[in-house]
Amino acid sequence: MNRILVEVACPKHGFERFSIKVVKRYNIPSTDIRPRFGKLKPKEINQLYVGRNVSDKEIKKFVNDYLSRVGIGGIILKMTIAKVT
Give the residue numbers spanning the domain of 45: 2-83
| pLDDT score recorded for residue 61 | 92
Tens digit of each residue's pLDDT, the chain (85 residues): 689 998 888 777 788 888 899 999 989 999 999 999 888 776 788 899 999 999 989 999 999 899 888 887 778 888 888 887 6
In the chain, the number of structural domains is: 1
Q: How far apart are CA 44 and CA 36, in angstroms?
A: 9
Strands 14-24 and 45-50 come out as parallel
| pLDDT score recorded for residue 75 | 83
| pLDDT score recorded for residue 42 | 67
